Structure 1
């Protein structure tokens, strides 16, 4: 461990929760260098929806590399990119009657968000963007400006401006009608709210605590944006690519965002890839006006195309994800009934168990790690134990992990693990 502690920055995070050296991974299991297995309820923070070293995706990438396929290409035309765009159009966009153009903004979710914010301001000529309480959209300055977490915002070192937070669904515990404050500010010329260029939202807030917005709330938000000529940006970086069941997390609400941000599992194999999907009439970029060196990581195109063909030409994965998610919810609800102060949250295979405080949730995740299960916490105070396994996890593996979760909750409740 010494080289990590002496040479790597103090900014490292996940390794502090899981202090082992990992060596191999397959499916839903990681192995440390001594061969000990750890069941994965983390899935690369949502980047590994299809599991570790998925054999279908691995074969596609290896075959591409062995034939000396182009690896790096900026935004040049390549066979791999063409195949991805055609597959994405035919498998994802056309069946859903979605008419988007694709921006390749850079390798990560924050790049997709930055491109969305920049384009929204360019199109509308407005500066302000509305975000929501407990949102997380990335660590670059633009993405941080629309992020809620005070610790992450504080690291920016400069004022984060031109963004206004509004209450997320149920933030006020149902005590006021949806969007009452937002609507009043928009209608009142004395409110001080500049006309927003856009509203950016996660349909399920992952890092914010597995907060799932009601479909009615999302529909009302889309209507509000349309009436006030604000672009609706859905950040589907973590919740897209099937995490909530459908390919896009907004499908259940029946809305069509103006802009969609994708990353994480769109790269399918843990390879970096990000997309910003935009309505065709919003494509007002000048050539080179938004660019970056790593926009064309062709092995990611290859893996993404293989994943779309393997998992999204029918609804098998979607149905499986929804069924597994309901099973996780039932187990969590039983735990909440057996232990006071707990609440089950989430949608699809993005699930959370909220504890009274972050110390207790952290203790449960530590106890799970000691029993061979990887889980992280989320929420403003780390009070939610988060369950996000690969979508391809087997029923037996899922059950094994849920048993460990129940044992860990019981151990902490009994005082066997210090909070």
Structure 2
């Protein structure tokens, strides 16, 4: 075993996770590739669980960050004013919000996904004066107490150690055979349902950790209609599905909806630096100064790289490139399911947030492990890790995308051929 890996296994808490799936010590990363301490090269279809949508150490972002650091630019500023923050806010308005006819105030909570979710839940309750939040089966929204209360995974919920209250879980799209929103609407209408009108509904348009479940656009439109009819705030958690991962900057664009609150983090900085924002419709921005804060909400290094990352979105060419490659990925996955019926597979997801769910117990985990042995980093998702999911960098060259897909197909082929042992 590697000395460095031995040190980590000896001293790091048992809570460590990804190092168990990928038991190598990595020393270098560039674009869509990583290298371990033995010099072995890996194609990265993991992308920091969606935090590296533009790959590792993007040249343009790196150049801007190094320039900023070496000129003694402000590193930490809480929510004081800085040129880096002002530049990011202006560019975010001009490149992202205005062209999409979106009007939001930008709030900087703490720098992680769960921080933006916590702020969204808190604000929804403050605005409406109500306590309950409706979340959906399969949802994952973070690991702090409020975020866990609207998360479906029972193992992660148990980690809270206390009852998780003031939330109601409803069925996500296609969770059951019938229209799940008919059931939800009936609960809202019926005074005897035991469900009070909530402050908000929080939803992922594509559920990442929950198993790459993609809601239909008509389902999302109906959710928005229900929220408008009942005076419920609509929160879209775009922490993992946003920043181009599903094909557009915001995952909800294609559905034609306009949420009241949007949660962003992960790939917002573009470089893997911690950064989160909560987008709030202006009329909902009723915070008192300092009512919600965080020491590291002024991460200026992240402002710098996030500003540079927005250059990818100056015109429609990057989005067209994502759509072209996503078609290649989806067609490949459909072909795998067709060619290998033994895996009892189902293609799930949208854009670059896709995978195959297998009914064969443990198969997805075996595929991910075999891929890793062959030089491809890929993880699993779903309540039983039944989905192997593909999260390549959005700017991966088609040639290397195809190499990664070839590794997946060979891994599936080899595993299907293996004799079944009892």
TM-score, normalised by the number of residues in structure 1:
0.98
Name 1:361's counterpart in structure 2. 364
Name 1:76's counterpart in structure 2. 80
Name 1:191's counterpart in structure 2. 193
Name 1:332's counterpart in structure 2. 333
1:340-363 deviations in whole A, cap 9, x for unaligned?
211111100111111114511100
Deviation at 1:239, TM superposition (A): 0.8
**379, 398, 403: which is aligned to 1:400?**
403
Q: Is contact 2:264–2:278 with CA below 8 Å preserved after alignment?
A: yes
Q: 3-state DSSP class of the match of 2:199?
A: strand
Aligned pairs for 1:9-408 (under 5 A) are 9-173=13-177, 176-309=178-311, 311-340=312-341, 341-408=344-411
1:196-219 deviations in whole A, cap 9, x for unaligned?
000000000011111111111000
Deviation at 1:178, TM superposition (A): 3.9
Q: Is contact 2:246–2:353 with CA below 8 Å preserved after alignment?
A: yes
Counterpart Cα distance in 2 of 1:238 and 1:158? 27
What is the RMSD of the two structures over their aligned residues, measured on CA atoms?
Answer: 1.1
Counterpart Cα distance in 1 of 2:211 and 2:361? 11
- The number of equivalent residue pairs is 416
Counterpart Cα distance in 2 of 1:352 and 1:18? 19
**Structure 1, unpaired ranges of 5+:** none
TM-score, normalised by the number of residues in structure 2:
0.97
Q: Which moved more, 1:353-362 or 1:388-397?
A: 353-362
Q: 3-state DSSP class of the match of 1:179?
A: helix
Q: 3-state DSSP class of the match of 2:362?
A: helix
Deviation at 1:418, TM superposition (A): 8.0
1:229-264 deviations in whole A, cap 9, x for unaligned?
000000000011111111100000000000000000
Counterpart Cα distance in 1 of 2:412 and 2:51? 27
Counterpart Cα distance in 1 of 2:181 and 2:348? 22
Q: Is contact 1:357–1:381 with CA below 8 Å preserved after alignment?
A: no
Deviation at 1:124, TM superposition (A): 0.2
Q: 3-state DSSP class of the match of 1:207?
A: coil
Deviation at 1:416, TM superposition (A): 6.9
Counterpart Cα distance in 2 of 1:322 and 1:215? 17
Q: 3-state DSSP class of the match of 1:377?
A: strand
* Poorly superposed stretches of 4+, deviation over 4 Å: 416-419
**Pair 1:235–1:358, CA change in 2 (3 A):** farther
Counterpart Cα distance in 2 of 1:293 and 1:406? 46
Q: 3-state DSSP class of the match of 2:14?
A: coil
Q: Is contact 1:357–1:382 with CA below 8 Å preserved after alignment?
A: no
Counterpart Cα distance in 2 of 1:89 and 1:418? 58
